[in-house]
């Protein structure tokens, strides 16, 4: 079962009727009528207990990578539009008026994002969201920072009656899409052109390090949601963890997390939004009610016993193997002033750690759902 934290609401907001499971919010408006049910029980949704391992934790580990790294790495492909982007160490990044985004927008990064999407969907028990949407007609849906658009594509396919928009700084989405989906190049930090009280559901995933002020962003989202509409905010943690093995001081998982936290502090666009309670805090400040926080554990490789978690961990491992340089190069060299070689050393240490199944490593994924009153 999902461990869902009903975030404490200030008096006068959600009140005691706040539900305690992910599909719980007893809707009080027609837009919030739901036929969704709570996700089925799997080991994936039992975050307080250590996940069962399919390996001997701390046992002999011949660095048994869950994958053959060589087989997943390939050369980048270039398209003409890439030439309009910022370039750094052979990678391309979007140009935004409101500031430099930290992640590349090339094919190698896109492959990583799609693999992470597969991992997250498995983690949610083959669901794309936890919000209690109307299954017969989820209405108008907005996916902010859609990346490759894979979540929006899957959503539009699953709900043909929905009207879905995916926005991003980069046009890195496919052009052949279902008729109920469109992608727009749009900077969500700028003024929104959609009407107020317009969307039934807004989704944002892995936007850490991108948004200077989450209360302001959540206020904007609230304004453009219909009364009774839902916002679902999903962030992956930066910190590798293990319930089975003492990782010891100065573990590369700590280095990796600190890099992102420090970079976020310097750019004024925090990565700490992924930490427990942070997303809920901003949603509450913006005026959302019935806020539910669900904390999940995503294995970093194939060490978990549960078949779904094993698969999710394998996807996540593939994504990291594929592009840890892409995730870290900008923040390390441009924000923290590291040399490219120093980044390669950290990534090599990370690669060693994420391949070690006997560490039973995982990261947390927080899913927070709030309703517009
Ligand atoms: C880590 S990716 C996640 C993509 C997608 N949400 C997913 O989960 O697969 C973050 C995305 O947010 C986009 N992004 C960052 N800042 C943005 C902004 N101000 N407006 C729109 N998109 C933004 C980036 O271009 C990137 O594609």
Digit-coded pLDDT (tens) for 326-339: 889 889 988 999 99
172 CA closest ligand 1 atom index? 27
Ligand 1 center from residue 248 Cα (angstroms): 33
Give the number of other Cβ atoms within 10 Å of residue 170's Cβ: 25
Spell out which residues line ligand 1, taking CB within 6 angstroms: 94, 96, 98, 101, 103, 113, 117, 145-147, 151, 167-170, 187-189, 205-207, 210
Query: In sequence order, which residues have a C-beta less than 8 Å from that of residue 193 and are 6 or more positions away?
Result: none
- What is the span of the domain harbouring residue 262? 4-371
Using CA atoms, how far apart are residues 66 and 78, in angstroms rounded to an integer?
Answer: 29
Ligand 1 center from residue 273 Cα (angstroms): 14
What integer pLDDT is reported at residue 318 of this predicted model?
92
210 CA closest ligand 1 atom index? 16
pLDDT at 278 over 80: yes
Q: Specify whether the CB–CB gap between 155 and 165 falls below 8 A.
A: no
Using CA atoms, how far apart are residues 282 and 211, in angstroms rounded to an integer?
Answer: 12
Among 86, 145, 330, residue to substitute to test ligand 1 (most atoms within 8 Å of Cβ): 145
Q: Where are the alpha helices (DSSP H) in the chain?
A: 69-72, 107-123, 150-158, 214-224, 252-267, 278-286, 307-329, 340-355
Q: Please name the residue that has the structure tokens 């009656």.
A: 161
CATH number at 318 reads 3.40.50.150
**370 vs 95, residue with greater confidence:** 370
CA 177 to chain centre: 22
Ligand 1 center from residue 259 Cα (angstroms): 19
What is the value of pTM for the model shown? 0.83
Banded pLDDT at 8 (limits 50, 70, 90)? very low
User: Could you give the number of structural domains in the chain?
Assistant: 1
* Of 92, 331, 63, the residue nearest 210 (C-alpha): 331
What integer pLDDT is reported at residue 1 of this predicted model?
32
207 CA closest ligand 1 atom index? 10
190 CA closest ligand 1 atom index? 19
What integer pLDDT is reported at residue 73 of this predicted model?
28
Among 147, 188, 298, residue to substitute to test ligand 1 (most atoms within 8 Å of Cβ): 147
Burial readout 181-197 (b: 16 or more C-beta within 10 A, e: otherwise): bbbeebbbbeebeeeee
What integer pLDDT is reported at residue 322 of this predicted model?
87
98 CA closest ligand 1 atom index? 19
Among 95, 169, 203, 236, residue to substitute to test ligand 1 (most atoms within 8 Å of Cβ): 169
Using CA atoms, how far apart are residues 172 and 6, in angstroms rounded to an integer?
Answer: 36
Angle (nearest 5°) at CA 240 between 237 and 246: 140
Mean pLDDT value across residues 252-280: 96
pLDDT per residue as tens digits for the range 294-320: 999 999 999 999 999 999 999 999 999
Ligand 1 center from residue 232 Cα (angstroms): 15
Residue nearest to atom 12 of ligand 1 (CA): 145
Ligand 1 center from residue 9 Cα (angstroms): 29
Residue nearest to atom 14 of ligand 1 (CA): 145
Whole-angstrom CA distances from 205 to 34, 248, 342, 367 are 22, 31, 29, 9
99 CA closest ligand 1 atom index? 19
Residue nearest to atom 4 of ligand 1 (CA): 147
CA 192 to chain centre: 22
**235 vs 95, residue with greater confidence:** 235
Query: In sequence order, which residues have a C-beta less than 8 Å from that of residue 76 and are 6 or more positions away?
Result: 90, 91, 106, 107, 108
Among 149, 210, 232, 260, residue to substitute to test ligand 1 (most atoms within 8 Å of Cβ): 210
Query: 34-48, 151-165, 349-363: which has the minimum mean pLDDT?
Result: 34-48
Query: 16-20, 129-133, 187-191, 267-271: which has the minimum mean pLDDT?
Result: 16-20
Any idea what DSSP says for residue 302? Answer: T
Ligand 1 center from residue 207 Cα (angstroms): 6
Query: In sequence order, which residues have a C-beta less than 8 Å from that of residue 237 and are 6 or more positions away?
Result: 257, 274, 275, 363, 364, 365, 366
143 CA closest ligand 1 atom index? 6
Banded pLDDT at 269 (limits 50, 70, 90)? very high
Whole-angstrom CA distances from 46 to 66, 133, 227, 247, 354 are 23, 23, 32, 22, 22
**Residue 15, helix vs strand vs coil:** coil
Per the prediction, the chain carries an average pLDDT of 83
114 CA closest ligand 1 atom index? 9
Mean pLDDT value across residues 171-186: 93
């Amino acid at each position: 079962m999902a461990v869902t934290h009903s975030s404490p609401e200030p008096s006068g907001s959600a009140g005691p009727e706040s539900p305690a499971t992910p599909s719980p919010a007893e809707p009080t408006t027609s837009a919030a009528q739901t036929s969704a049910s709570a996700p089925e029980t799997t080991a994936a949704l039992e975050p307080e207990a250590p996940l069962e391992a399919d390996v001997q934790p701390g046992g002999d580990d011949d660095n048994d990578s869950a994958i053959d790294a060589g087989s997943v790495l390939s050369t980048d492909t270039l398209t003409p539009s890439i030439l309009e982007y910022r370039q750094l160490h052979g990678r391309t990044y979007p140009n935004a008026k409101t500031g430099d985004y930290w992640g590349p927008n090339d094919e190698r990064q896109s492959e990583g994002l799609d693999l992470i999407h597969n991992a997250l969907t498995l983690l949610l028990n083959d669901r794309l969201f936890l919000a209690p949407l109307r299954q017969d007609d989820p209405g108008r849906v907005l996916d902010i920072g859609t990346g490759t658009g894979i979540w929006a594509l899957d959503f539009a396919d699953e709900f043909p009656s929905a009207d879905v928009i995916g926005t991003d700084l980069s046009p890195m989405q496919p052009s052949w899409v279902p008729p109920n989906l469109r992608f727009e190049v749009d900077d969500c930090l700028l003024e929104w052109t959609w009407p107020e009280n317009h969307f039934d559901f807004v989704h944002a995933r892995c936007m850490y390090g991108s948004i200077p002020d989450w209360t302001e962003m959540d206020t904007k989202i609230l304004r453009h949601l219909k009364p009774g509409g839902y916002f679902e905010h999903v962030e992956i943690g930066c910190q590798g963890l293990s319930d089975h093995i003492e990782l010891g001081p100065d573990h590369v998982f700590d280095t990796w997390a600190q890099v992102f936290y420090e970079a976020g502090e310097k750019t004024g666009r925090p990565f700490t939004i992924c930490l427990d309670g942070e997303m809920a805090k901003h949603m509450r400040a913006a005026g959302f009610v019935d806020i539910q926080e669900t904390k999940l554990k995503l294995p970093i490789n194939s060490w978990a016993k549960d078949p779904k978690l094993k698969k999710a961990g394998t996807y996540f491992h593939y994504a990291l193997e594929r592009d840890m340089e892409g995730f870290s190069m900008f923040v390390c060299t441009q924000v923290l002033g590291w040399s490219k070689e120093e980044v390669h050393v950290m990534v090599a240490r990370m690669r060693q750690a994420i391949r070690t199944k006997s560490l039973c490593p995982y990261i947390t994924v927080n899913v927070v759902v709030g309703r517009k009153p």
